[in-house]
């Protein structure tokens, strides 16, 4: 979105200063500015975004959540395409929240505070408070339909769908669900939770979905604690019940954690598709597509625990890139040179962040160039053992109910091979 201080001044009727794009927000843009000295932010959909026009609904939801006692930023102004709100003070970067010594006490409080915020949302905001909220009556079918629309076969995600469909718990209730309630979408200061942000995925659904999403491994950012990297599952459920939330047991929470992991994998496919289709060209969205295999392995750990988890050597199958008739520098050496140049750019803010994303993307390209022949041969042999010709055929057979130890083991091996290229560090010290 092309945004100028003059446009914001005309819209809000005051003097706008210090306008700058903020970090984060793969799916939406966030801009920081001051209006007559008051710190505000503007959130907007980028051009081509699939949820364009939903900001008025989000503004209504924020106001209803505030009335229910959920800590949220105050809404100042909203249109169908953007929303202006109070700029809260605190930290949102997950790794800082988990590691900063100044936030030690805040981390100890977060599980209880977040459980309370969710209980207030689930019991205090009615569907009638916000017009047009999407509704999920069958969350697994919604993911199947989305995968079909994306048209990209993922046997591991299909195995997750199949196994979760066989043990779905009874519904906890029907409430307004935040949809993306996790570390990274919370503003935190030394006292703990300051505000709940990023309500764009809110919908009507089972309130246990929000609890399970908090426990997805991707949102622990390297911590061993299962609830957002700061707490334990029993602590979360006890605090949620004490704040008035409906009863949720550990078995139901585990199912929704696995569902959330599956959902995040599908969302990663969707975000990469937004780049590949040309709807929203973004190196960040492109890079997210290679995170799918990381999430797939998290999912298999949850839904296919019977598969032996042999020790994995991250650099297994490394091979020398063939030069062919070309002169030096080789393709790998050219990539290395570009990588060094990107790393040396004097960039800050979002540009600096995207430069780091680009550097990691080049790492993926270099590993794939080195390992592709061996991994491709392994995968061809793996599919032949299963008597299928492609991932698409295997995914279709799993969708139809094929589920046996050989399939589960082969799917896991394929995911691990993808992760050797995408991010081999994810193969060690998994928890």
> Hey, what domains does the chain have and what are their CATH numbers?
5-86 (3.30.200.20), 94-287 (3.90.1200.10), 316-427 (no CATH)
Q: How far is CA 25 from CA 34, 94, 99, 271, 337, in A?
A: 20, 13, 22, 12, 29
Dihedral sign (CA 262, 263, 265, 266) = positive
Per DSSP bridges, beta strands 82-86 and 192-196 are unpaired
CB 421 within 8 A of CB 368: yes
* Run of H or E residues at 21: strand 16-21
pLDDT value at residue 318: 52
pLDDT value at residue 401: 97
Other Cβ atoms less than 10 A from the Cβ of 411: the count is 28
φ and ψ at residue 192, rounded to 5 degrees: 115, -140
CB 226 within 8 A of CB 233: yes
DSSP character for 291? G
CB 233 within 8 A of CB 215: yes
pLDDT value at residue 51: 58
Output the CA angle 167-204-52, nearest 5 degrees: 120
What gap in Å lies between CA 217 and CA 219, rounded to an integer? 5
pLDDT value at residue 113: 98
What gap in Å lies between CA 228 and CA 218, rounded to an integer? 9
pLDDT value at residue 25: 58
Residue with tokens 């790794």: 95
Residue with tokens 């089972």: 206
What gap in Å lies between CA 160 and CA 167, rounded to an integer? 11
What's the average pLDDT block by block, 10 residues per block, for the chain (431 residues)? 83 94 74 95 76 81 98 95 94 95 97 98 96 92 96 97 96 96 96 96 97 97 96 98 97 98 97 92 93 97 85 54 78 91 89 92 93 94 98 98 96 96 88 58
**In 304-390, which residue ranges form alpha helices assigned H by DSSP?**
331-343, 349-385
**Coil, strand or helix: which one is 175?**
strand
pLDDT value at residue 3: 77
pLDDT value at residue 227: 98
Cα within 13 Å of Cα(262), Cβ side: 31
What gap in Å lies between CA 227 and CA 142, rounded to an integer? 25
| CA 60 to mean position of chain CA atoms | 24
Other Cβ atoms less than 10 A from the Cβ of 47: the count is 11
């Amino acid at each position: 979105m092309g945004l100028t201080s003059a446009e914001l001044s005309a819209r809000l009727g005051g003097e706008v200063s210090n306008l700058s794009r903020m970090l984060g927000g793969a799916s939406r843009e966030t801009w920081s500015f001051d209006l007559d000295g008051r710190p505000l932010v503007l959130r907007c959909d980028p051009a081509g975004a699939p949820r364009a026009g939903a900001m008025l609904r989000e503004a209504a939801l924020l106001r209803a959540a505030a009335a229910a006692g959920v800590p949220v930023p105050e809404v100042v102004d909203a249109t169908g395409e953007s929303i202006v709100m109070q700029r809260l003070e605190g930290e949102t970067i997950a790794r800082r929240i988990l590691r900063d010594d100044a936030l030690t006490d805040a981390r100890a409080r977060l599980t209880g505070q977040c459980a309370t915020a969710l209980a207030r949302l689930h019991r205090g905001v009615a569907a009638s408070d916000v017009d047009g909220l999407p509704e999920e009556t069958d969350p697994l079918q919604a993911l199947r339909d989305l995968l079909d629309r994306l048209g990209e076969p993922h046997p591991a995600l299909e195995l997750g769908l199949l196994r979760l469909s066989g043990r779905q718990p009874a519904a906890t209730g029907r409430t307004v669900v935040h949809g993306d309630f996790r570390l990274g979408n919370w503003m935190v200061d030394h006292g703990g939770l300051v505000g709940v942000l990023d309500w764009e995925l809110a919908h009507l659904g089972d309130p246990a979905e929000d609890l399970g999403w908090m426990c997805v491994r991707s949102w622990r950012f390297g911590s061993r604690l299962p609830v957002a990297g700061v707490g334990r599952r029993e602590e979360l459920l006890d605090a949620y019940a004490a704040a008035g939330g409906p009863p949720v047991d550990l078995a139901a929470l585990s199912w929704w954690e696995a569902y959330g992991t599956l959902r995040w994998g599908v969302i990663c496919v969707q975000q990469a598709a937004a780049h590949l289709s040309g709807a929203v060209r973004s190196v960040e969205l492109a890079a997210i597509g290679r995170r799918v295999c990381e999430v797939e392995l998290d999912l298999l750990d949850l839904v296919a625990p019977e598969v032996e988890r042999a020790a994995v050597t991250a650099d297994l199958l490394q091979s020398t890139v063939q030069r062919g008739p070309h002169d030096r520098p080789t393709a790998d050496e050219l990539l290395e040179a570009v990588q060094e140049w990107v790393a040396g750019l004097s960039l800050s803010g979002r540009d600096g962040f995207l430069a780091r994303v680009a550097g990691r993307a080049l790492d993926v390209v270099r590993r794939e160039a080195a390992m592709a022949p061996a991994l491709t041969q392994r995968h061809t042999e793996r599919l032949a053992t299963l008597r299928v010709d492609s991932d698409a055929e295997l995914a279709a057979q799993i969708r139809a109910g094929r589920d046996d130890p050989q399939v589960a083991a082969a799917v896991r091996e394929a995911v691990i091979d993808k992760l050797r290229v995408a991010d081999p560090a994810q193969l060690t010290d998994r928890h």
